[in-house]
Amino acid sequence: MDENRLKPIAEDRYDKRDPRMALAAAAFEAATSPSVRRKLADSKQPIAVVVRVPTPAWVAPVADYCQKVFGRSWILISRDGTDRQHRSDKGSDVVAFELTKHSVVGVAADVGVLPSTLVAAADLTIELGSSGSVVSDAVARFGGKPHNVDFSGLTVVGVDFPDILATFRSGWSARKIRDRLAVTSGRIGADTAAHDLPDLRLAVEFGEARRWALALAKDIEDYRAKRIPWSALDRGAVVFSEPGLGKSLWARMVARECRVPLLESSVAEWFNGTGYIHDVIRAERLVFAQARTLASQADSGCCILFLDECDAIPNRATMSDRNRDYWTPILGDILTNLDNGIAGTSNGKSKRTGIIVIGATNRIADLDAALMRPGRLERAIEIRRPDFVGTLNILRFHVAGDVAERDLEEIAGLIEGATGAEVMQYVRDGRRIARARGGALSPADLRAAVLPKSDFAPDTLRRICVHEAGHAVATLALGCAVVKRCVVRSGTDSLGETLSETTENDLPTKSDIEDRVVAILSGRAAEEIVFGVVSANAGGDIKSDLATASRFVGVLHFSVGLGGSLVHVVGPNDIHQLLRTDPLLQRKVGRHLKALYRRALRIMTDHRGAIEAVAQQLSKRRHLSGDEIRRIYEASIAGRAVGCSLRQ
């Protein structure tokens, strides 16, 4: 056997000291066997070759390398997805003609952008990857001599071609290049093994999202052990919630529990820059290409791609005709990359094999329905505000053992239902208070952060307490929910808060919804009964009493068919937009609200004694638990019954 045939093909045709060529050559030769290289060097007949590179950034340097080593007799087609003509239906006629006389090589990160004829006719498909051994070989080529530095433990998953190339500097030793790459990979790669992440198995506050993720982790473990095929795994999900409930944190926890790498991207960022279609598509394709590289290099063969703000993906149901021509190609390309089919792949595997896509949004109603199709994102999972147990668990994590459990339970009762971001802020404020007094975090510091001292004028404080007492008393009188607490706070968006937990099932009736609205309006009604006039406390932003009551009544009429008409007009999340634009519907909702407000006034009149008693205690202590409020209410009812009996 001629030993020279085992050497890199046409090694003298490129400058090995050129870092671009050194890295491209190392990757190419790591992906090909000597027999493959012999076939490329000695083929007397035209052949078709497809070279798939890790990301679009690899396309140009690998194409340059191929041009140099294959020679000018080969026809080179390189596509990075940046041009509108980089489509599978473009160039097949040229490929078919050239293959009659010449060999053709196509280079791309996504072979779906290469001419379909080339992909179908490919005699060889070469999959390039980046790894510690590839970088080690490239460093030796770049330095012009072998080295004894160990690159085997270097993780370059997620580190793109330019980031690797930036460490190849003249005069740097192999060890210095390796150390700098280690720093670079640490900055770019998502550290799903971080010790400051909560344990997903204990994170009960994530509810159904936690249960889904634990099942996914078990499936990935079975896939890793080859007990189940890839087709048995969920392809992804969308988690949705109001802001601050930890969707991004949850994704990192999921990746750690599954022991797979995580690639995080914001869909909104794809649209930064020029805004041209090809730039948006290029940014999107780069993310999916990076995910494929992560999955292929992970020991499990899997990765999680987390797409935050996925509601930025255009929705065909709401886009205007004027913008449809712009948005449709973008959505189509995203759907293609999310697809589970094998079209456009070079190895018969799905383009999604090994990639689990998790989307996150605050506006689930804005997602295009096609995103949720089986094989794409598949299901929607809501993350809700935590209950007492969940709040306690979040608080326990942030306090990190600095406060006793029994004291944490008291604090958790004060902030039950707070978002994870709010709990973190309370603990941060508590630690700041502790530092100011020169001590460690104490229960008193947390209480001071949760219930800061207020400078309300006496009349203002009493009105706030009467308002919150109205909510609580109406809820108890109607039996429509379980009262958890009343709190008066300063320095927040809401001066007071009454937390109730509904007891109804998932299919409320008209009377269930109306009772909830009456309880919401009873804060304002209590002010009117006690003071004779009302304040602006019931109105304001989208979370105010009046906004919430308007949405519930709007849902009755325009979403769920419980307002006298069976016509579905809009979804629950679009009620406010509808009311802003339609005066007739405003009047219809307004009439219904007035009728429910009259009910609230009657209830507040009947229970004025309970309102006064609850408000008095709330003004003294600034916080009352649900049990304390219920005892005051029941004592008032009992006292009223005794009074009626004595009068009789």
Q: Confirm if 520 and 512 have CB atoms less than 8 A apart.
A: no
The predicted structure's pLDDT at residue 374: 86
The string over 578-613, giving b where at least 16 C-beta atoms fall within 10 Å of a residue's C-beta and e elsewhere, is: bbeeeeebeebbeebbeebbebbbebbeebbbbbbb
> Is the confidence at residue 292, as pLDDT, over 90?
no
The predicted structure's pLDDT at residue 15: 67
Percent of the chain with pLDDT over 90: 41
| Nearest partner of 608 among 526, 496, 504, 518, judged by Cα | 526
**Sheet holding 496-502: strands in order across?**
496-502, 481-488, 623-625
pLDDT band at 492 (very low <50, low <70, confident <90, very high): low
What does the pLDDT average to over 516-526? Answer: 96
Least confident stretch, 102-106, 365-369, 587-591: 365-369
**Between 495 and 34, whose confidence is greater?**
34
> Is the confidence at residue 564, as pLDDT, over 90?
no
What does the pLDDT average to over 96-122? Answer: 89
Q: What is the DSSP letter of 536?
A: G
What does the pLDDT average to over 314-320? Answer: 79
pLDDT band at 343 (very low <50, low <70, confident <90, very high): very low
Cα dihedral 171, 176, 181, 186 sign? negative
Q: Confirm if 395 and 423 have CB atoms less than 8 A apart.
A: yes
Least confident stretch, 67-76, 209-218, 261-270: 67-76
Percent of the chain with pLDDT over 70: 90
pLDDT band at 4 (very low <50, low <70, confident <90, very high): very low
pLDDT in tens, 388-437: 999 999 999 999 889 888 889 889 988 888 899 899 999 999 999 999 99
**Between 17 and 527, whose confidence is greater?**
527
- N- to C-terminal Cα separation, the chain: 118
Q: Confirm if 368 and 314 have CB atoms less than 8 A apart.
A: yes
Fill in the amino acid letter for 73.
Answer: S
Domains of the chain by start residue, with CATH? 3-129 (3.40.50), 133-188 (no CATH), 200-382 (3.40.50.300), 388-450 (1.10.8.60), 458-639 (1.20.58.760)
Least confident stretch, 131-145, 283-297, 584-598: 283-297
CA dist 580 → 187, 472, 567, 589 (Å) = 46, 30, 19, 12
pLDDT in tens, 192-251: 445 578 899 999 999 999 999 999 999 999 999 999 999 899 989 999 998 889 999 999
Q: How is residue 468 written in tokens?
A: 């919150």
Q: How many angstroms separate the CA atoms of 264 and 247, rounded?
A: 12
The predicted structure's pLDDT at residue 468: 94
The predicted structure's pLDDT at residue 616: 94
Q: Where are the alpha helices (DSSP H) in 360-509?
A: 388-399, 405-415, 420-437, 443-450, 458-478
The predicted structure's pLDDT at residue 445: 92
CA dist 275 → 192, 278, 281, 327, 330 (Å) = 32, 8, 10, 11, 11
Which class for 188: exposed (0-12), middle (13-18), buried (19 or more C-beta within 10 A)? middle
What does the pLDDT average to over 446-471? Answer: 89
The predicted structure's pLDDT at residue 195: 52
pLDDT band at 321 (very low <50, low <70, confident <90, very high): confident
| Cα R_g (the chain), whole angstroms | 32
The predicted structure's pLDDT at residue 34: 86
What does the pLDDT average to over 39-64? Answer: 86
Q: How many angstroms separate the CA atoms of 567 and 556, rounded?
A: 11
